[in-house]
Amino acid sequence: MQFSKWHGLGNDFVIVEPEKNPGFDFRGSAEHLCDRHFGIGADGVVTVRPLGGSAFEMRIYNSDGTETEMCGNATRCVGLYIRKNKLAAGSEFELHTRGGIVRPKVLDNGSVRVDMGEPHLLRGEIPVAGDPASGAENLAIELPGRQFSAVGVSMGNPHAVIFVPDINAVELEKWGPQVECHALFPNKTNVEFVEVISDRMVRMRVWERGCGVTLACGTGSCATCVAGVVTGRTARCITVLLDGGELQIDYSLNDNHVYMTGPACEVFRGQYTETR
Ligand SMILES: N[C@H](CCC[C@H](N)C(=O)O)C(=O)O
């Protein structure tokens, strides 16, 4: 099975084209492919299938083998992958995912700006109607010995954004999985702990659903910006400082879409030969 290994700020993926690997069971093999000792090693597997013109289907499998609706860092990798492999003309593409359509644009400086579409505030799994600012910090997450107040935001996939005074004091590996699997989230959730540095800069660390701690989360950075805006903590254009680097996020007042800009990098290509 031919694959290409990419990362977006250290959040890494095995990118494959099903049409070039007929019969390969990507869903069933995702966990093994992501294993950093017995497989290729990655946070996820991403399949890319042409739909005609500049449109492609993109599906994303976490390292635990579960399929997710959306992955921001992967959209930048796939945008550059399409361009680099000349799978379509131009520099703007349309990625059809389970979480909706997103639109990466490869910029002249080699970074990628993605229209990630509209966010939706969540109360657990329930969309919040009406004014997004009303009661935005609406999720009281009770854990043994600790309570967190979170803002629920969907970017196609679910996020619980938790603002904290000191991000270095957060035991991410302890609290992340407990929030991920809390009863408020029947389909689990991604968990972002955020320290506000200024109204235009935040530091964020993430425990990802189906992956654990990753170096960066694109949809989590978008959710963080939306949560910052609706709770009055940040401006609509912010820099998100992640373990793996920085993303620029713009929660546009014009169209209520969230735009994410950042890098993506191809590390190597290979042939996966294990017969399983
Ligand atoms: N683990 C996530 C998907 C990957 C999201 C993240 N890697 C990003 O860049 O958005 C989920 O189950 O929703």
Q: Measured between alpha carbons, how far is residue 90 from residues 53, 93, 96, 139 in Å?
A: 10, 8, 18, 43
CATH 3.10.310.10 domain range(s) in the chain:
2-117+263-269, 139-255
Spell out which residues line ligand 1, taking CB within 6 angstroms. 11, 62, 68, 71-73, 157, 190, 208-211, 214, 217-220
ipTM for the complex shown:
0.98
Number of other residues whose CB lies within 10 A of the CB of residue 193: 26
Closest by CA to 45, choosing from 72, 64, 21, 23, is 64
| Helix ranges, 181-215 (H) | none
Residue 115 or residue 142, greater confidence: 115
Say whether pLDDT at 208 is over 90. yes
Q: How far is the CA of 219 from the centre of ligand 1 (A)?
A: 6
Sign of CA dihedral 38, 43, 48, 54: negative
Atom of ligand 1 nearest to the CA of 43: 7
- The string of pLDDT tens digits covering residues 222-248 is 999 999 999 999 999 999 999 999 999
pLDDT at 125: 47
Q: Letter for the amino acid at 39?
A: G
Average pLDDT over residues 58-69: 98
Query: What is the SS3 assignment for 72?
Result: helix
CATH architecture for segment(s) 2-117+263-269: Roll (3.10)
Confidence of residue 139 (pLDDT cuts 50, 70, 90): confident
Which ligand 1 atom is nearest residue 74's CA? 9
- Rounded to 5°, angle at Cα 101 from 203 and 192: 20
CA of 70 to the centre of ligand 1 (A): 6
Once rounded to an integer, what is the mean pLDDT over residues 53-69? Answer: 98
CA distance 276 to 274: 6
Active site includes 71? yes
Extract the runs of DSSP E, i.e. beta strands, from 40-167. 44-52, 55-62, 67-68, 94-97, 100-106, 112-115, 120-123, 126-127, 139-143, 146-154, 158-163
Q: Which residues are annotated as a binding site?
A: 11, 62, 72-73, 157, 190, 208-209, 218-219
Distance CA 127, CA 211 (A): 25
What is the rounded average pLDDT for all residues in the chain?
94
Ligand 1 centroid, distance to 178 Cα (angstroms): 17
- Cβ proximity of 205 and 167 under 8 Å: yes
Residue set of the binding site for substrate: 11, 62, 72-73, 157, 190, 208-209, 218-219
pLDDT for residue 127 is more than 70? no
State the pLDDT confidence band at 140, using cuts at 50, 70 and 90. confident
**What top-level class would CATH report for the domain 139-255?**
alpha beta
